[in-house]
């Protein structure tokens, strides 16, 4: 199966800091901005400002860097940043914004910048090991995206597709050896593993086992590794993997995330009693607001939306004006999905859902979509290039019911598989990893009844 390029962004929450040195990474930015003789032949290149402003965890702007050029156009200053990453830089003069750029910053990195006015965006050059590495990563990604376009167009035989994808996984994996410790290295590792996800889970697991511990990668790697471990080695081995990772983790956020993953894994594996027990331990160990919010959500799901619980009653106004009541769906299994049609994850999963519909609708499974859209134009645009195979609720219907509250919808897309008796089989948040397996079980059960 051809998968769209899945970009996993390494997100960093920037805490509100009163002192710059509260951030762990120290970088130096130095350089020169000049003015073309055709604009100003005085040789005075002063007054250019360069600034990097991010948003902290409270939503307030936090200025990480601010420098002003001298008469020769030179500037030099140090700054602390929360992590290796791409940072937005704004260049201006005399109160006017002239250009924006992106600079990669990391630990003890010295970045050299040069540019000429006018045309700063065209002449803007950044020189540093981190920025050279990210340019190499971006070149690989552009080439990979072109290959994916050819694959989707059918330019390569089906038998050759896995071979081609494996080659690109190897190319991305090489980034960690070519540019060790860099942002490009980390992004390359994630993209390599992403390609292997579902393509060669055993190889993915092997690569993860041989990775040196990197706390900056821990969450992204865990997302991929957990699914691959579960598919190849089973639940207990996956729980052991999470325990090993937690023992290696020194950052509280990572340890908390790994404990969250344990609870979620047990819930997804329908080990509800074990999940509840782990949840109680989690609540004792983590008392901050973020943990309390997540724990509250999980406790509700485990108590009200887990295997065997009745699906909360609902009514939906469907396209055409008919009202669909959940009671009328009893007697046959069904999938209710709630999604934003513009969402990239939903669009990537849509062909898979179509494939499941072709197979399981014939076995008596109904499909219903509640689009989280207010405008019918958005819905119509989505289906201009896609076939609509199953019923949709009317745009705007999602606002007319408290279904989101009763179904504990906190992120999209989310799906519910409900059996013929109206009881929940599973709630799928974001992923559809076990949906095929669950559909096989539900339809087999319906046949034997």
Q: Is the dihedral of CA 240, 242, 245, 246 positive or negative?
A: negative
Residue pair 88/36 in contact (Cβ under 8 Å)? The answer is no
Q: Read off the pLDDT of residues 191-242 as tens digits, 9 standing for 90 and up.
A: 999 999 989 999 999 999 999 878 888 998 998 899 899 999 999 999 999 9
Is a pLDDT exceeding 80 seen at residue 11? no
Q: At what angle do helices 272-285 and 289-304 cross, to 10 degrees?
A: 160
DSSP 328: G
Q: What value does the mean pLDDT take over residues 332-343?
A: 96
Full set of structural domains in the chain with CATH: 20-126 (2.60.40.10), 132-304 (1.25.40), 315-448 (3.40.30.10)
Q: Read off the pLDDT of residues 127-175 as tens digits, 9 standing for 90 and up.
A: 999 999 999 999 999 999 999 998 988 888 889 999 999 999 999 999 9
DSSP 212: P
The label of the residue with tokens 């519910």 reads: 416
The label of the residue with tokens 């559909």 reads: 439
Q: Which of 294, 328, 293 is nearest to 311 (CA)?
A: 328
Is a pLDDT exceeding 80 seen at residue 22? no
Residue pair 169/161 in contact (Cβ under 8 Å)? The answer is no
Is a pLDDT exceeding 60 seen at residue 105? yes
């Amino acid at each position: 199966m051809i998968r769209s390029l899945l970009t996993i962004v390494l997100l960093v929450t920037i805490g509100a800091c009163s002192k710059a040195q509260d951030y762990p990474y120290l970088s130096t930015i130095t350089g020169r901005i000049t003015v073309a003789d055709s604009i100003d032949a005085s040789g005075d290149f002063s007054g250019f400002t360069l600034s990097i402003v991010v948003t902290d965890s409270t939503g307030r702007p936090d200025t990480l860097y601010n420098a002003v050029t001298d008469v020769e156009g030179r500037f030099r200053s140090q700054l602390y940043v929360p992590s290796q990453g791409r940072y937005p830089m704004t260049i201006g003069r005399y109160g006017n914004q002239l250009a924006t750029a992106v600079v990669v910053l990391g630990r003890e990195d010295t970045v050299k910048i040069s540019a000429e006015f006018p045309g700063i965006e065209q002449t803007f050059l950044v020189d540093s090991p981190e920025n050279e590495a990210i340019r190499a990563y971006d070149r690989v990604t552009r080439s990979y995206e072109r290959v994916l376009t050819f694959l989707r167009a059918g330019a390569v035989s089906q038998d050759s597709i896995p071979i081609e994808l494996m080659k690109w996984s190897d190319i991305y994996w090489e980034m960690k050896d070519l540019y060790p410790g860099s942002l490009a290295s980390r992004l390359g590792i994630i993209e390599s593993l992403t390609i292997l996800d579902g393509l060669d889970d055993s190889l993915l697991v092997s690569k993860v086992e041989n990775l040196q511990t990197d706390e900056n990668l821990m969450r992204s790697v865990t997302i991929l590794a957990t699914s691959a471990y579960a598919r190849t080695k089973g639940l207990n081995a996956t729980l052991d993997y999470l325990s090993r990772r937690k023992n290696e983790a020194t950052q509280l956020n990572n340890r908390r995330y790994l404990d969250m993953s344990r609870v979620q894994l047990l819930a997804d594996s329908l080990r509800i009693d074990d999940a509840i027990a782990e949840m109680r331990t989690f609540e004792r160990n983590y008392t901050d607001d973020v943990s309390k919010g997540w724990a509250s959500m999980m406790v509700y799901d485990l108590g009200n939306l887990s295997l065997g619980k009745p699906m909360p009653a609902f009514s939906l106004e469907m396209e055409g004006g008919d009202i669909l009541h959940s009671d009328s769906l009893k007697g046959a299994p069904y999938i209710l999905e709630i999604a934003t049609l513009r969402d990239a994850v939903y669009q990537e999963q849509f062909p898979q859902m179509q494939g499941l519909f072709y197979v399981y609708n014939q076995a008596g499974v109904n499909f219903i979509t509640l689009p989280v859209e207010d405008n019918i134009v958005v819905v119509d645009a989505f289906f201009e290039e896609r076939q609509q195979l199953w019923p949709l609720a009317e745009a705007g219907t999602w606002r007319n019911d408290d279904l989101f509250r009763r179904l504990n919808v906190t992120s999209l897309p989310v799906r519910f598989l409900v059996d013929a008796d109206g009881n929940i089989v599973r709630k799928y948040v974001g992923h559809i990893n076990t949906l095929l397996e669950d559909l096989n079980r539900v339809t087999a059960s319906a046949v034997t009844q």
